[in-house]
Amino acid sequence: MATTILPPGAEITLDDLGSGGPPKIAPRPGHVTASGSHAEKSETGVWVAVAAISMFFAAFTSSMIVRQGVTPDWLRFQLPRVMYVSTLVLLGSSLTLELARRRFAGVPGSLGSTTAAAKAIVSKGMYWMYVTGALGLLFVLGQLLAWRSLRAQGLYLATNPSSSFFYVFTVLHAIHLLGGICGAFYVLARLRKTNGVARKSGFGAFSIYWHFMDILWVYLLLLLVLRF
């Protein structure tokens, strides 16, 4: 039986591949083994997660639109002002994340920070990562204040469909954001292990997720402003 396999360490080039037609896909940059590189897998995984989370919130959005239209019992109320401040905080966290990215882009090759200068760059990048996580926590604190403000007005989860959806949207977004903060700590741990090589640390995947959390929140805020 004619089969072709590559033993470990075997050298082949695309020209040596026989007459059965060459492999159609060329290896992509970053592929280390047949199992793909860490960066590509995690980024693909996060993009897929972004699709699922988008669908998740789209289902809640259409539920809200249907529920609001089906019965005239929708109570409009003023959104707590702290939410606008916390929105700015969250947008600020995206900026600090980009500052971190710029620092990591300066780390040479795949070896990481072997020189004192490179170590300083990585250290600054990690500093901005900490700031990003802290701003994320500050946003969640802002949401806690917003929920407290609503409770003070007598608006609980079951008070009215509008308050129900308010809590559902904001709590579920906060849970996703807390997941992102856990991701930030994971990336920081990986950065330490890899001497600051962002590509090997899941930084790219984390930044996609974090920016998506920002965009998702802006969308939810607009929805709440328009519908409440």
Instruction: Work out the number of other CB atoms within 10 angstroms of the CB of residue 84.
Output: 12
- x/- track of binding to another protein for residues 137-166 (CB under 8 A): --------------------xx--x--x--
- Alpha carbon 44 to chain centroid, angstroms: 12
- Provide, rounded to whole angstroms, the least separation between the CB of residue 87 and another protein: 23
Q: Closest CB to another protein among 34 and 152?
A: 34
- Provide, rounded to whole angstroms, the least separation between the CB of residue 47 and another protein: 9
8-state DSSP, 76: P
Give residues 10-49 in contact with another protein (rule: CB under 8 A): 10-14, 17-25, 27, 31-36, 40-41, 44-45, 48-49
Q: To 5 degrees, how large is the angle CA 215–CA 216–CA 217? A: 90
Q: Which of 8, 76, 78, 116 binds another protein (CB under 8 A)?
A: 8
The reply to whether 9 sits near another protein by the rule CB under 8 A is: yes
Q: Closest CB to another protein among 67 and 119?
A: 67
Q: Closest CB to another protein among 7 and 109?
A: 7
Helix (H, G, I), strand (E, B) or coil at 169: helix
The reply to whether 108 sits near another protein by the rule CB under 8 A is: no
The reply to whether 76 sits near another protein by the rule CB under 8 A is: no
8-state DSSP, 155: -
Q: Closest CB to another protein among 134 and 168?
A: 168
Q: Report in angstroms the alpha-carbon separations of 154 from 124, 149, 151.
A: 45, 9, 5
* Sign of the Cα pseudo-torsion (160, 165, 170, 175, in order): positive
8-state DSSP, 74: P
The reply to whether 189 sits near another protein by the rule CB under 8 A is: no
Q: How far apart are CA 104 and CA 159, in angstroms?
A: 48
- x/- track of binding to another protein for residues 161-180 (CB under 8 A): x--x---x---x--------
C-alpha radius of gyration, the chain, whole number: 23
The reply to whether 71 sits near another protein by the rule CB under 8 A is: yes
- Do 37 and 43 contact (CB within 8 A), yes or no? no
The reply to whether 227 sits near another protein by the rule CB under 8 A is: no
Cβ neighbors of 63 (< 8 A, separation 6 or more) are 165
Q: Which residues bind another protein (CB under 8 A)?
A: 1-14, 17-25, 27, 31-36, 40-41, 44-45, 48-49, 51-53, 55-56, 58-60, 63, 66-67, 70-71, 73, 157-158, 161, 164, 168, 172
